[in-house]
Chains A and B, each alone.
Chain A
C-alpha cells in the first residue's frame, strides 16, 4: 500500500466520536474486578480457532511449498523480477569464469562493494516497494556489476547442445 492509498483509507474512517459524559469515573473501579474474573468461554474458543488456523497454515507451507512459490510466481514484484534476471545472469557469468584478467586481483572484494550497495537499495525498497527510482538504481548497480565481471574475468564460451 503506498502513501496515497494509505491516506485514502485513513480519510475514509469515521472522525473521532467524543463521549457524551466522562466515562472514566465509571470504568476505573471495575477494572480490578474484571482482572480477577475468570475468562469467558468465548475467549477459549477464539484461542483454539486461532491455534488451529496457525497449524493449518504452517502445515500447508511445510508440506506444500508449491502453493507459496506458485502464488509468488503468478504475481512477481518488479524487484523480484530484477533479482531473478540479474542473479541468474551473474551466476552464469561466474560459472563460466575460467581465469581472471590481468590487473583484476581484487575482483571479488570489488563485487562485494556492489553486493553491499544492492543490499542497501533493497532495504530502501522494503520501505518503498516498487519505487521507480530505487528500481532503476538497483538495475544500474546490477548492470555495473555484470559489466565488471565481464571485464575482470576470462570466460568459457557456452557449450551448444
Chain B
C-alpha cells in the first residue's frame, strides 16, 4: 500500500514539474507558413532583424517561408507582385534587444527559385544560404553568414561575424569588419575586404583582390592570373600555383607580404621598401639594393621572358619572394 502511494506521489510531482517546465519554456512566437508562386528569376527582398535564417534554392517557381517570428516581433508583411516579392518581419519602433539572447529569436526557412535575385538584410542573427544562381546580396551586422553554391553576383557582408563561402562563382565580394572570411573553392572574380578580421582562401578564381587593415590573409590560389594585395598592418601569405605568367600587385604600410610562385614563373619583378622594410628574394640570386639617399631599398629583376609582372611595395614591412 505504501509503495502504491509513493509511486502516485512521484507521478504527480513529475506531472507538476513537467507542467511548470512547459510554462517556463512557453513559446509565444508567432508561426509563419506562407507560400506564393513566383517567376523563376524573381527579385526577392527579405528583411529579418534577428534570428536564425535559412534561405534555400529550389528548382520550382515558388517562394515560401516557414517557421517562427521573434517573440518581440509585431508581425510580418509579405507582398508578391509583378516579379517582385518582399517579406519583412516587423518590429516595434523602440526595442532594447540583446542579440546574445537567442532563445526566442526568429527561426525562419525560406525557399526561393534557383534563378532568383535575393537581397537579405538583418542585424542580429545568422544566415545560411545555398544554391542561388541569380544574385545574392546578404548583409547582417552581428551574425555569421554561411553560404554554399552561390553564382553570378554575390555580395556577402557582415560587421561582427564570420563569412564562410563554399563553391561561390562569378563576381564575388566578401566583406567583414571584425570577423573572419573563409572561402573554399570559389571561382571567377573575388574580392575579400576585412578591417580586423582574417582571410583564409583556397580559390581558383581568375582575379582576386585582398584588402586588410589589421587582419592577416592566408591565400592558397590555383590558376589565379591577376592578384591584388593591400594591407596596412596585416600579414599576407600568398601561394600562387598553376600560373607561369601572373600579374601581381600589392602594397603594405607596416605589414609583411610573402609571395610564393611556381618554379617556372616568367615575370618582371619590381619590389620596393620605402622606409625601413626588408626585401628577401629566394627566387633568384638577385639582391635588393639600398638607395643612395635615404633608407629605401629596391629590387628589380626578370625571370624567363618576363611575361608576367610582380609589383610589390611597402613602407616599413618585409617582402619575401619564394618558390613553391
A interface with B by C-beta (< 8 Å) = 3, 6-7, 101-104, 110, 113-114, 117, 120-121, 123-124, 127-128, 131, 133-134, 136-137, 140-141, 144, 148, 151
Contacts and interface: CB of A to CB of B under 8 A. Distances in A.
Between A124, A128, A140, the greatest number of chain B beta carbons within 10 A of the residue's beta carbon is seen for A124
A81 B14 CA distance: 78
Given A117-B253, A124-B315, A128-B274, A3 B232 contact: no
Q: Specify the main secondary structure of chain A where it touches its partner.
A: helix
A104 B159 contact: yes
Contact of B274 (A101, A113, A134): A134
A124 B294 CA distance: 9
Contact of A148 (B123, B195, B315): B195
A137 B296 contact: no
A120 B315 contact: yes
Given A104-B159, A117-B232, A127-B295, 18 more contacts: A3-B292, A6-B292, A113-B214, A113-B233, A114-B213, A117-B233, A117-B253, A121-B253, A127-B275, A127-B294, A127-B296, A133-B251, A133-B274, A136-B251, A140-B251, A141-B232, A144-B213, A148-B195
A136 B275 CA distance: 16
Given A123-B275, A127-B296, A137 B195 contact: no
A131 B274 contact: yes
Nearest to B311: A133
Contacts of A127: 274-275, 294-296
Interface string B213-255: 1100000000000000010110000000000000000010110
A117 B292 CA distance: 25
B294 to A, nearest CB: 4
Contacts of B177: 103-104, 151
B313 interface: yes
A127 B293 CA distance: 9
26 contacts: A6-B293, A102-B123, A102-B142, A102-B159, A103-B142, A103-B177, A104-B159, A110-B195, A110-B196, A113-B233, A114-B232, A117-B232, A120-B254, A120-B316, A121-B315, A124-B274, A124-B315, A124-B316, A127-B296, A128-B296, A133-B313, A136-B251, A137-B313, A140-B251, A141-B253, A144-B232
